[in-house]
Amino acid sequence: MDKTIYFDNAATTQISSEVLNKMMPYLTEEYFNPSSLYSRAQKVKNAIEEARKNVAEALGADPNEIYFTSGATESNNWAIHSIVEQNKKNGKQCHIITSKIEHPSVLNVFKKLERDGLEVSYLNVDAEGRVSPEELEKTIKSNTVLVSVMYANNEVGTLQPISELGEICRKHNVVFHTDAVQAIGNVKIDVLHQNIDMLSLSGHKFHAPKGVGALYVRKGLKVENLLFGGGQERGKRAGTENVASIVGLGCAIAEATKDIEVKNRHLKELREMLLSGIKKIPKVKYNGSLEHGLTGTLNFSFEGIEGEGILLLLNSYGICCSSGSACTSGSLDPSHVLLAMGLDHGLAQSSVRISLSKYNTSEEVEKFLEVINPIVERLRKMSPVWNEKI
């Protein structure tokens, strides 16, 4: 079989060799518990603090504002529950706001809280997948305690007007959380200037390992304990640290944020190739925002056929893509993101996501473009929906 062409970097990325090399000593000779007092253990602790510094630097934050977690699912759950719990303790009937296109690790927390009786609002998005700051402002009420809107969408790559949303939240004294998983290493983030109070990230989306992430919590904002136990993570998230992965995360985020411009230049070239190649196929709809979108995430609907069919045939050529997100791909329901953007069920179900990384090449894009047209033609020939149309 030919070499795999990996175009599913929004699902996960490969660990970079530099990251792996940095991690290896902590999986072998530097195995000490960072909470122990002897100097070799303190060296391990220092490595964690070095990683915390790197994460803080990448976000324009202070190291004391960073908590390591097992990934963004945990960070998102922690952030949302923490704010709700604090307000419940104060006896407040809270109202919380999110968008209709969030990742399930935010959306399903909101749905659960709604089932528990909390007042919840879900912001609409426009045809490009953007939330409107005006709608947010109108939705905020006197009992609103939290707004959680993702930085960049994982299915279509659309970026939200984060600074504007943050400013509105600050003006109304509402906590602003953002799930920035897909944005890290792709856009410059500055939590202070963007009025971000809490931010979630996950290492495996920028060439660190899976199972490690972080939550940023602005100084002065109280965070509830996530796990009770030892004093790790300033007593807020107990448990012996996942040292090697934290070190990997620290290395990867420094690498990813240093290279943002170079990476985007490269991805822009690949994006142009993909856009002009795919445009030649009739009845294809681009889903997302070229102006306000991640350079490396592209989503297309191929009218008249199922996205899953395209994925299977691409797979037979060794090409890995997704329809929707990996976290919802087990479901037969059309993407909630595409439906919120106004697509009908048929178009939403005919979507394919191509997500690139710095490791992808123009040769890989050429190979993809060589096979995509015949794949679409073949599937359309077999499609009753398509044949009815023509």
Query: Which residues are annotated as catalytic?
Result: 327
Question: What is the smallest separation between the CB atom of 143 and ligand PMP, expressed in angstroms?
Answer: 27
The site for ligand PMP (CB under 6 A) is made up of 71-73, 103, 105, 150, 154, 179, 181-182, 202, 204, 325, 327
Q: Decide if 202 contacts 10 (C-beta within 8 A).
A: no
Q: Which is nearer to ligand PMP, 242 or 325 (CB)?
A: 325
- Smallest separation, CB 73 to ligand PMP (Å): 3
State the Cα–Cα distance between residues 307 and 81, nearest whole angstrom.
35
- In angstroms, the Cα distances linking 252 to 22, 257, 319 are 10, 9, 25
Numbers of helices and strands, H then E, in the chain: 13, 12
Residue where the block lists tokens 């989306």: 205
**d(C-alpha 67, C-alpha 305), whole Å:** 44
Please give the Cα distance from 92 to 87 (Å, whole number): 5
| Identity of the residue, 245 or 383, whose beta carbon is nearer to ligand PMP in the bound complex | 245
State the minimum distance, in angstroms, from the CB of residue 72 to ligand PMP.
4
d(CA 40, CA 360): 40
| Nearer to ligand PMP (CB atom), residue 52 or residue 103 | 103
* Closest separation in Å from C-beta 367 to ligand PMP: 26
Evaluate whether 69 touches 246 at the Cβ level (below 8 Å): no
- CB nearer ligand PMP, residue 72 or residue 113: 72
Residues 137, 144: Cα–Cα separation, whole Å: 11
